[in-house]
Structure 1
Amino acid sequence: MQEIPTLHETPRVGYEDASLSFDASSEPVLTVNQGEHFWLDARSLLTGGLFEETGEYEKLSIPVTGPVAIRGVNPGDALRVDVHEILIARRGAMVTLPGRGGFTDGLGRAGHVVEIVDGQVVFDDHTRIPVRPMVGKVGVAPVGVGPNSSTVGIHGGNMDCKDVTAGAAVVIPVQVTEAMLYAGDLHAAQGDGECSLTAVEVEGSVRLSCTVVPSGANPNVGIRRPVVLSGDSVITIGDGDTLDEAARLALDDMLELLQTDRKWSREKTAMLLSAAADVSVSQLVNARVSAKVTLASRYFTAEPFTLDSSDTMNAQVSDV
């Protein structure tokens, strides 16, 4: 395994500091400066050994780690969270549950443990899936009662956007002082929709840094929902009780971003999106679903929320 010196030199929060909600009232487990790198360890279905002892998978949950307080961040700011590196364990797990999933006739209760070898998920003796590590849950604490860690919303949360990989960034509207950031729910691989209920759920660690997007440099910082920057694309995330609602919100946000940048009419902007943007599903299996609109950053005269993000590494598979 390649030695990662930053693993030991930067602040690190273990997965024992886990939470089942994005709670503003919790004491910070770490306080960092803007731009400072830190590690968060993440639990998975396999943490603690209960998965392999019981078939009662509905009793298992995947919490988030945190909160991390970010100095100098205030309500109304737009917080950019850069994902610099993801390390994942060499075993993952998946489940299905009655009444859950995106299939018409439903699914039974089943669990499946997989090994991860040479950048591949060994799904069975004859089937391999390329590893593409991602962060399923990234969010800040909202005002009031903290939503469940499996909930998506304006705070971010359980977006399950497979584009949140190493080298990506998530921009989230801040609601409370110092943001109170949480993250977790690492996946070795996930398809759009996470249609059976889970992706390849893995323990691991993620290295992050956070910076407020300067309001004077960008008129688009008044965002209402999370925006993902990944692979030369800008991705807006919508959430709702239905995919229809979620997609409309993601479309509205992209329309506003692009119209503000290009100074076009709503109609001309909508036509560009119809020709060049992709509307797709992030997650359709939880109580609130999430949809995304992806547009290549070249369609903007200036990519929204761009900041220098140095020391970004490709995702690696490692024992953690």
Structure 2
Amino acid sequence: MTVLQPGTGTVRGAVHLPSTPATVLWGRLPCGDDAPVLHVEPGTELTVDTVSHEGLLEDQGRDPVAWFGRHGVDAADVLGDAVAIAAQVPHGPDDGPHVVTGPVRVAGCEPGDLLAVTVLETTPRVPYGVISNRHGRGALPGELPRGEDAVSVFVPVRETADGPVGCLPVHDGGEPLVTFPLRPFLGLVGVAVPGGERPHSVPPGPHGGNIDVNLLQVGATLYLPVQVPGALLYVGDPHFAQGDGEVALTALEASLRVTLRVDRVPRADAVARFGEVDGPLVETAEHLVPTGLHPDLDEAVRRCVRAAIRLLHARWGLDEHLAYAYLSAATDFDISQVVDRVCGVHARIRKADFDRVSR
């Protein structure tokens, strides 16, 4: 697997946004008062070189060359933009972990519109990643990790006939006999909130952010309610793979080169297609995927169910009690993640089930 250092390799998009000390925040999300690092028109294909925070953090020494070197990675195979960010970008103890690239102003977007972000390509930049459990978080706080120190598991990637796989040993220091397929996606995609306060990068919200919905792979579109003029899009938290729940705190975190198409959905069109959207909404070839977000997982489920009922009524005219019945019989409600202070749940509504319903 080729290492995609800054300035190397193929760039698909008409516009390229690198991650540099001038184009990223570390641990905070852009807000409405932040100046955009880039201006684009709706319909633009934008390629972003994203950078994972793993190997950069203070509990890993804030020296990616040294940290990855201890795991057998040559200095030439450590991303230069990761090294520059670790050395130059401010990162406080109260900040989140994520390296966030942006914001990007999308011309014409106004509050009430939706910003549509379609994933066109996700290319791993390195042949390795990291899975971490730290600070007593994850699904088992107080149980794992067993000691005071963070546990960061280095995961090499190797090519197989069926595609690249992540590799884990059965015991520390053993051969990497456990393998699992890569399904790259961005865990963090969002729009700016109004005002001058930059939100923490960990909890997701109506603005999107760290939603960690692993369906956001190539071909999927994320719709976000625009909150400030120009939307001010940002991205980060690249993953090579993640199971629903992300129980250990992180999944397989690793840097990606991603190409996205950004589009504006005017308010009237958005309401006609989806009803009132007050949080992240995903669409894939097969599914419409409303979300529910709340610190309490039970309430996150309830919010997701309400969002799904509203969507079914707006899109296909289902009466409330019939929408509720359909969801119970035919829709899977999946836990997106339980580790980001605000829990996430998403529902997979099959679009094919409504082929005979006129809009």
Same fold by TM-score greater than 0.5 = yes
Q: In 1, Cα distance between the equivalents of 2:33 and 2:267? A: 27
Q: 1:245 aligns with which of 299, 307, 320?
A: 299
Is the CA contact (8 Å cut-off) linking 1:46 and 1:202 kept in structure 2? no
- Normalising by structure 2, we get a TM-score of 0.77
SS in 2 for 1:159: coil
* 1:9, distance to aligned residue in structure 2 (A): 4.9
Q: In 1, Cα distance between the equivalents of 2:66 and 2:153? A: 10
Q: 2:165 aligns with which of 117, 120, 123?
A: 120
**Residue equivalent to 1:160:** 212
**Residue equivalent to 2:117:** 81
SS in 1 for 2:127: strand
Matches within 5 A, 1:35-114: 35-44=43-52, 45-47=54-56, 48-49=63-64, 52=67, 61-88=97-124, 89-103=126-140, 106-108=143-145, 109-114=150-155
Q: In 2, Cα distance between the equivalents of 1:29 and 1:61? A: 21
Amino acid at match of 1:110: V
**Residue equivalent to 2:243:** 191
Residues 174 and 221 of structure 1, relative CA distance in 2, 3 Å threshold: farther
Is the CA contact (8 Å cut-off) linking 1:83 and 1:165 kept in structure 2? yes
Amino acid at match of 1:134: F
Per mean C-alpha deviation after superposition, the further-off stretch among 34-43 and 143-152 is 143-152
Q: 1:227 aligns with which of 281, 297, 316?
A: 281
Amino acid at match of 1:222: E
Q: In 1, Cα distance between the equivalents of 2:188 and 2:356? A: 28
Matches within 5 A, 1:267-278: 267-278=321-332
Amino acid at match of 1:232: E
Q: 2:199 aligns with which of 138, 142, 147?
A: 147
Identity across matched positions, percent: 30
Per mean C-alpha deviation after superposition, the further-off stretch among 222-231 and 102-111 is 102-111
Q: 1:31 aligns with which of 27, 31, 39?
A: 39
* 1:50, distance to aligned residue in structure 2 (A): 7.2
Is the CA contact (8 Å cut-off) linking 1:90 and 1:115 kept in structure 2? yes
Q: In 1, Cα distance between the equivalents of 2:275 and 2:43? A: 18
Can you list the C-alpha shifts for 1:144-177, whole angstroms capped at 9, x where unaligned? 3232121200000110001011111100100000
Residues 51 and 208 of structure 1, relative CA distance in 2, 3 Å threshold: farther
SS in 1 for 2:254: strand
- Larger Rg belongs to: 2
**Residue equivalent to 1:14:** 19
Amino acid at match of 1:285: V
Residues 279 and 177 of structure 1, relative CA distance in 2, 3 Å threshold: same
Residues 62 and 158 of structure 1, relative CA distance in 2, 3 Å threshold: same
SS in 1 for 2:67: coil
Q: In 2, Cα distance between the equivalents of 1:252 and 1:18? A: 35
Specify every segment of 5 or more residues in structure 2 that has no aligned partner in the other structure, as ranges: 3-7, 57-62, 71-91, 170-175
* 1:230, distance to aligned residue in structure 2 (A): 2.0
SS in 1 for 2:246: coil
Is the CA contact (8 Å cut-off) linking 1:69 and 1:181 kept in structure 2? yes
Residues 201 and 221 of structure 1, relative CA distance in 2, 3 Å threshold: same
1:205 and 2:260 equivalent?
no
Structure with the higher strand share, 1 or 2: 1
Q: In 2, Cα distance between the equivalents of 1:75 and 1:103? A: 39
SS in 2 for 1:11: strand
* 1:250, distance to aligned residue in structure 2 (A): 1.2
Is the CA contact (8 Å cut-off) linking 2:165 and 2:182 kept in structure 1? yes
Matches within 5 A, 1:240-319: 240-300=294-354
**RMSD between aligned residues:** 2.5
* 1:216, distance to aligned residue in structure 2 (A): 4.5
* 1:192, distance to aligned residue in structure 2 (A): 0.2
Q: In 1, Cα distance between the equivalents of 2:66 and 2:338? A: 23
Specify every segment of 5 or more residues in structure 1 that has no aligned partner in the other structure, as ranges: 304-320
User: How many equivalent residue pairs?
Assistant: 300
Residues 151 and 161 of structure 1, relative CA distance in 2, 3 Å threshold: same
Residues 8 and 267 of structure 1, relative CA distance in 2, 3 Å threshold: closer
SS in 1 for 2:223: strand
**Residue equivalent to 1:316:** none
* 1:103, distance to aligned residue in structure 2 (A): 2.1
Is the CA contact (8 Å cut-off) linking 1:247 and 1:293 kept in structure 2? no
* 1:178, distance to aligned residue in structure 2 (A): 0.2
